[in-house]
Each structure stands twice: as C-alpha cells, then as structure tokens.
Amino acid sequence: MRMRQPVRTVWRVFAQKTPINAQLIITRRCNLSCGYCFEYDNESAPVPLDTLKQRIDALHRLHVTSLTLLGGEPLMHPQLCDVVRHTARKCITTLITNGFLLTPGIVDDLNEAGLDHMQISVDSLMPTPDMFIQKSLKSLRRRLEMLLERARFALHVTTVLCPETVDGFDEFVGEIETVGIPVSAGLVHDEDGRIAVQGQPYIDAWSDFHERGGRFASIERDYGAALLRGEEPEWHCRAGHRYLYVDEHGILQFCASQMGRIDKQIVECTPDDLRAYGREKKGCEPGCIIGCAYRASVIDANPLPLVRDYLRGELRLRRSTRNRPSHSADVRDSAEA
C-alpha cells in the first residue's frame, strides 16, 4: 500500500491529529442481500461523479490519510475507476467489495486508476441454505485466484464471526489462507453497532483466530475478547475526527450505526469542526464493535499497537504482492468473468 509523502503523513497524524481514515459511500445499491448487513438497498441511484469529486476534494483538504470507498457494492458504480483515480491523487485508496462482480478487465482498470488496497468480504466455506450468508469461498475462490494473478494493489479478505459462521470458523480461515491472501476478522454487531454475540464458542473461535499468528488487525483482539465475555471496556470514540463516515447524501456521520447525530455536509466541515466532534462523548461506546472507529480512536491514548499492526500488515501485504505471478493476456482470456 503506497503512503504518499510518508514524513508529512506521520506529522499530520501524530502531531496535527488529522483524520486517519474516512469511509465514503458511493452507492447504496448492492447485488447481494446478506442477512447481517444494514448498509444497502436495491433502488438508490449511484452518487454522481461530480458530486463525489467535491466530497473527495473536501476530504483531501482535511488531510485524510486513507479513504475507503464503500457501498452497497461499490463495483456497481458505473464510474468507479474515475472515482478511484480522483481519490488516489492525494491519499491511500481502499475499496471494499463482495467480489462477485470482479472481472479481469475491472481489475486491470483499477490497477491503472491507482487503487492501493482491496478488501474482499468472504464469510464462510459455503453459503447458508437460507442465504443469510452469501459471500462464500465456494462462490469466490476463482475470483480470488484471478486477483492474485492480476492485481497490482494489496489484497486482504475480511470475514465476520457470527452464529452462522462460528462452527468451522478455524477451518474456513485455514482455507482462505491456502489461497494466499491475508485475513482479518470482525464480530457481528446489531443495527446500533453493539456486539451481537457472546459466549464461549465465540471466545474460543476469536482466540484461535488470533493465535494463528501474523494478524495485521490484532489491535481489537483483547477488546473483542472482553466484549465476548460480557465486559464493556471504557474508551473514548473519536469518530467525527479521527474516523469519518460520509453517507450517500454527503453528510458526515459518526459511523454507519449512529446516523443522524451530525447534520453537516462534509464539504462544509473544517478542522475545528472535526476536533469538536472528536471531543464529544458519544455515549454508544459500551459494547461497540465498529472496528474502524475503535482503531482510529485508540491511537490517541496508545499509538504503539496501531503502528505495530500497520507495519506488520504492510510487511504481509507487500510480501504477498511481491510473490504474485505477473499476468498475461492469456490470463485475461481464460479467467472466469
């Protein structure tokens, strides 16, 4: 993952306390309807490109280090590569996708547009009979293998530990690792962002996952284990400052689970606004398992674990990128569309 102007970025993050990560909704449309997801619909139009450029420019002015493009399913945006290209001019650019719409041509276009990092959501070996879980390795293995052959950006798989995946979770993670892509895990939450599972089976699966070693998102390990035990560790959420979530209307939100608490367009926000939002005690911290908000918040109290995990992740992602075979026209012709 390329960090543009690393010295200046470190100064801004640690001295000036600029936003670490922002998430930008570019469409609410999705080709799937996963049972645990609250962030999609099947009717909204994609956010127009010119509107997205204005919001991205505003985030650049706020010196966001990393910007993540979200849906719904962002691959459904008809001008996705133009969005990526505009974003990648000034910050690390990540795309989160379910992967079902990936083709060799799209991957090549994202390479050219300057994408830095892709997260692919995969939750189980097989879809569940009721289709509550749809993002399965059975459905996505060929596309993951195609990504490994073609992508010049970093890859990692994200997965969710929930009642439908806890049995056989270790086997599933092992199978993903045989594909050759690093894995990170989260815990399922309710619509308010609070943890939705507890108990020994989840504690065991969570512990086994992290004990496999080399996890680059382990900052939540102890925190997640405490929540699974029924505890509620104290922390101060810095959402609205260190972590930003911009909805499809361009309004800054604390996160996807705490909508409507800020009523300001991101294009109107100033650094002073963000600092004020960050100082605000949210009140929803007890039981919160929104990992992106937690990671970006605890850096102010204890930055070393986040730096350690970032460096560890960079090493793993760079190593996996280096070890990929170079692609050829034959791969484009033979890969499954």
Q: Would residue 196 count as lying in a domain? A: yes
> What does the pLDDT look like over 152-190, one tens digit per residue?
999 999 999 999 899 999 999 999 889 999 999 999 999
Considering the chain, what is the average pLDDT of its residues? 87
- Separation CA 151–CA 291 (nearest Å): 26
Higher pLDDT, 8 or 240: 240
Res 107 pLDDT > 50 = yes
Give the number of domains in the chain. 1
Q: How many percent of the chain have pLDDT more than 70?
A: 84
Does 274 have pLDDT greater than 90? yes
pLDDT at 327 over 80: no
pLDDT surpasses 50 at 116: yes
Domain presence at residue 1: no
pLDDT band at residue 212 under the 50/70/90 scheme: confident
Q: Which two tokens stand for residue 125?
A: 């070996």
Q: Is there a domain that residue 214 lies in?
A: yes
Per-residue pLDDT of 53-74, as tens digits, reads 999 999 999 999 999 999 889 9
Indicate left, alpha or beta for 195 from its phi (over 0: left) and psi (-120 to 50: alpha): beta
Give yes or no for a contact between 98 and 31, defined as CB atoms under 8 angstroms apart.
yes
Domain range enclosing 192: 6-334
DSSP SS3 for 83: helix
DSSP output for 165-218: TSTTHHHHHHHHHHHT--EEEEE-B-TTSBB---SHHHHHHHHHHHHTS--S-G
Residue 62 included in any domain: yes
Please tell me the predicted confidence (pLDDT) of residue 336: 33
pTM: 0.87
- Comparing 163 with 5, which gets the higher pLDDT? 163
Q: With bands split at pLDDT 50, 70 and 90, how would you rate the model's confidence at 29?
A: confident
Model confidence at 131, in pLDDT bands (50, 70, 90)? low
pLDDT for the residue numbered 329: 37
Q: In angstroms, how far is CA 176 from the centroid of its own chain? A: 18
Looking at the domain assignment, is residue 239 inside a domain? yes
CA–CA dist 297, 302 (Å, integer): 9
Decide if 93 is inside a domain.
yes
162 membership: H or E segment, kind and range: none
Check which CATH number belongs to the domain holding 278 and give it.
Answer: 3.20.20.70
Q: Is residue 112 part of a domain?
A: yes
In a domain, 229, yes or no: yes
| pLDDT tier at 333, thresholds 50, 70, 90 | very low
Higher pLDDT, residue 263 or 85:
85
